[in-house]
Amino acid sequence: MNVKIALCQINTIVGDLQYNFERICGFIEEAKSKGAKIICFPELSLLGYPPEDILFYPYILEKQFDYLEGIKKYSEDSLIVIGFANFDDYLYNSAAVFCQNQMFVYNKINLPNYGVFDEDRYFKKGNYSLIIDANKIRIGFTICEDLWYPNEPILSLVNNDVDIVVNISASPYHVLKPKLREEIFKVRAIDYSVFILFCNSVGGQDELIFDGTSSIIKNDGKTLFRAPSFKEKILIGSISVEDLKLAKLNPLRKNQPKSNLECKIINTTIDLLSKDYTEDDLSDFYDFEEEIFNALVLGTRDYIFKNKFNKVLVAMSGGIDSSLVSCIAAEAVGHKNVLGVSMPSMFSSSHSVEDARILAKNLGIDFVIIPISKIYDTFINSLDDVYSRLGNKEFTVAEENLQARIRGNIIMTISNKFNYLVLACGNKSEMSMGYATLYGDLAGGFAPIKDIYKSDVYRIARWYNTKKNVIPERVFIKAPSAELRPNQTDQDTLPPYNILDKILKLYLENNYSPEYISQICNLDKEFVKKVIKQVEISEYKRRQAPPGIKVSVRAFGKDRRLPITKNI
């Protein structure tokens, strides 16, 4: 006999209770049609995650309970777990556990309050564990962070002889996190000799990505089933009753520290057993480049569609950044919904325009050329009097940036006129150093590669080209340049990217001092200090940049909250 399980890796919309409810019900019906008896949904799946200050709107929180009543009817012969915001005397991040037309509630105990998390701002900590006893099969419940640490509530669950630990999560993605997270859960499974059902959200929400990668892990640490990353999926898997019995005999179950946490045990007569055994996917993890590319496509697609856009515009310079963004856009919304715009000035090379044209043709996207030299001349002529009065007619960085601002005006006007979402093409290296023009190349509604270092932009684009061969080879080998003055390259202003990116990563993601960075990278200390100073004085620009997808351990934004005005 077996217990058949469905982990419903669902993509929700924050605040849209009706949409989320309908998706949940559809997934329940499909899971039940496949014989699943335990059906799980992610953390806060009814409301969407993270709801942020929507949690301060009581009228929205109260509506959840009407939808929970609608879900209860599905639980006569199955156990269903749904994440919601429990609004009682206090606000809790909770799991609604439905069984035999009854609803039981578990409130999350470990509330993360670091990085992108602000759960202490909203939720009160739970104070009990919950077990459903289904004819001697004991199922305990945890929410996301509850399973990351070897303490409560899992200790309480094991003290009370639990067989299966359900973990519903909305675990935000960063590079290589799917593997890391599963390794942690394998340790929990082995240490406590329990089966773990990990059900994670999937989809993009503003700057966050949820990768899914839900899994069923055996008590010996073996992953039995794993859902694909970055895709909606109902993962169906079975656990044999014999394996559950053997897990209980493991001496580790008897040698755990005692728990003082109250445990609510609900005894039921529900039959979760089935003769049918289902063996679903054991999807592989992606390699580095493919993992990040798929995350960027998912995050871009969801930002576009969830914010009611259906077409996007990319300013195609013929460089590597706009080339990668164009590929992401075509994958995210389809080539027919992407407009590429080339805006050459008197300093643009002919090969840059040609490379942009070739890429657009290879991707099958619409492409237009709008020269800006005459517009630039009109601007300069209009400024002639004030330049004379203030005493400087020389060509400076102001005239360089004027070209970028003209381009920003053009693409934002097209966006405004035809409802295209503009995708900004700035990368993390440029954002870090302030190597971007306010109201120019920072213009746009969303920045897909905002958290990708320049070195990794090349790496990911090269990987994509091995699959599709759409980016002209010249884009990879020519020196990167903004082309705002004659013979300009990025390295006129910035250190070589292979050196710069090492410094940035160690400083931004590890908080290492300039002295330590210079030591481990064998670089001049004053040079490193100069780079870091430029990072800090560029904070005001980053505050005005469009949102972008978090893929690193520490992105700009919620991950890294520093004052603009400072002296460090």
| pLDDT tens by residue, 357-377 | 999 999 999 999 999 999 999
Question: Same domain, yes or no, for 421 and 382?
Answer: yes
- Domain annotation covers residue 499: no
Q: The sheet that has 338-342: what strands, in order across it?
A: 366-369, 338-342, 312-315, 421-422
Q: Indicate which residue of 144, 199, 327, 425 is catalytic.
A: 144
Confidence of residue 483 (pLDDT cuts 50, 70, 90): low
Q: 404-441, pLDDT tens digit by residue?
A: 999 999 999 999 999 999 999 999 999 999 988 889 88
Q: Are 9 and 52 in contact (CB under 8 A)?
A: no
3-state secondary structure of 261: coil
DSSP string computed for 514-568: HHHHHHHHT--HHHHHHHHHHHHHTHHHHHTSPPB---SSS-SBTTB---SS---
Question: Same domain, yes or no, for 260 and 298?
Answer: no
pLDDT of residue 61: 95
User: Residue 308 and residue 421: Cα distance in Å, rounded?
Assistant: 10
Summarize the confidence of residues 311-327 as an average pLDDT: 95
Whole-model pTM over 0.85: yes
Question: Same domain, yes or no, for 267 and 324?
Answer: no
Percentage above 70 pLDDT, the chain: 99
pLDDT of residue 441: 86
Summarize the confidence of residues 73-97 as an average pLDDT: 95
Print the domain residue range for 368: 288-491
- Domain annotation covers residue 311: yes
Q: Are 424 and 451 in contact (CB under 8 A)?
A: no
Question: Same domain, yes or no, for 237 and 307?
Answer: no
Q: 167-215, pLDDT tens digit by residue?
A: 999 999 999 999 999 999 999 999 999 999 999 999 999 999 999 999 9
Q: Indicate which residue of 43, 152, 400, 430 is catalytic.
A: 43
Least confident interval from 323-337, 491-505, 536-550: 491-505
Summarize the confidence of residues 99-112 as an average pLDDT: 95
- Domain annotation covers residue 188: yes
User: Residue 492 and residue 481: Cα distance in Å, rounded?
Assistant: 9
**Whether 558 is catalytic:** no
Q: Indicate which residue of 4, 108, 218, 311 is catalytic.
A: 108
Decide if pLDDT at 312 tops 70: yes
How many domains is the chain built from?
2
pLDDT of residue 104: 97
Question: Same domain, yes or no, for 270 and 304?
Answer: no
* Strand 215-217 versus strand 223-226 pairing type: antiparallel
- Domain annotation covers residue 521: no
Q: The sheet that has 262-268: what strands, in order across it?
A: 223-226, 215-217, 195-200, 164-169, 137-143, 128-134, 262-268
Question: Same domain, yes or no, for 211 and 331?
Answer: no
C-alpha distances in Å from residue 411, one per residue of 348, 541, 543:
18, 20, 21
- Domain annotation covers residue 216: yes
Instruction: Return the axis-axis angle of helices 514-521 and 497-510, rounded to nearest 10°.
Output: 140
Question: Same domain, yes or no, for 258 and 119?
Answer: yes
pLDDT of residue 308: 94
Question: Same domain, yes or no, for 95 and 146?
Answer: yes
**In terms of Cα–Cα distance, which of 5, 278, 226 is closest to 137?**
5
Summarize the confidence of residues 141-168 as an average pLDDT: 94
Instruction: Return the axis-axis angle of helices 17-33 and 58-72, rounded to nearest 10°.
Output: 20
**In terms of Cα–Cα distance, which of 94, 48, 39, 110 is closest to 71?**
39
Confidence of residue 559 (pLDDT cuts 50, 70, 90): confident
Decide if pLDDT at 462 tops 90: yes
Confidence of residue 48 (pLDDT cuts 50, 70, 90): very high
- Domain annotation covers residue 41: yes
Question: Same domain, yes or no, for 218 and 301?
Answer: no
Decide if pLDDT at 107 tops 90: yes
418: CATH: 3.40.50.620
pLDDT of residue 227: 96
- Domain annotation covers residue 529: no
Question: Same domain, yes or no, for 69 and 136?
Answer: yes
Token pair for residue 20?
């989320």
Q: 241-286, pLDDT tens digit by residue?
A: 888 888 888 887 778 889 999 999 999 999 888 877 777 778 999 9
Q: Are 339 and 366 in contact (CB under 8 A)?
A: yes
**Whether 279 is catalytic:** no
Q: What is the mean pLDDT of the chain?
A: 92
Question: Same domain, yes or no, for 295 and 394?
Answer: yes
pLDDT of residue 492: 66
| Domain stops at, among 438, 463, 491 | 491
* Strand 262-268 versus strand 128-134 pairing type: parallel
Question: Same domain, yes or no, for 264 and 305?
Answer: no
Q: 487-531, pLDDT tens digit by residue?
A: 767 776 788 899 999 999 999 999 999 999 999 999 999 999 999
Least confident interval from 72-86, 149-163, 233-247: 233-247
Higher pLDDT, 482 or 137: 137
Higher pLDDT, 400 or 153: 153
Give start and end residues of each alpha helix (H) in 73-140.
119-122
**Whether 311 is catalytic:** no
Summarize the confidence of residues 226-253 as an average pLDDT: 89
User: Residue 554 and residue 453: Cα distance in Å, rounded?
Assistant: 12
**In terms of Cα–Cα distance, which of 475, 441, 402 is closest to 546?**
441
| Domain stops at, among 469, 491, 513 | 491
- Domain annotation covers residue 556: no
pLDDT of residue 245: 84
199: CATH: 3.60.110.10
Confidence of residue 337 (pLDDT cuts 50, 70, 90): very high
3-state secondary structure of 459: helix
**In terms of Cα–Cα distance, which of 230, 169, 174 is closest to 202?**
230
User: Residue 348 and residue 386: Cα distance in Å, rounded?
Assistant: 27
| Domain stops at, among 491, 523, 554 | 491
203: β partners: 210
pLDDT of residue 484: 65
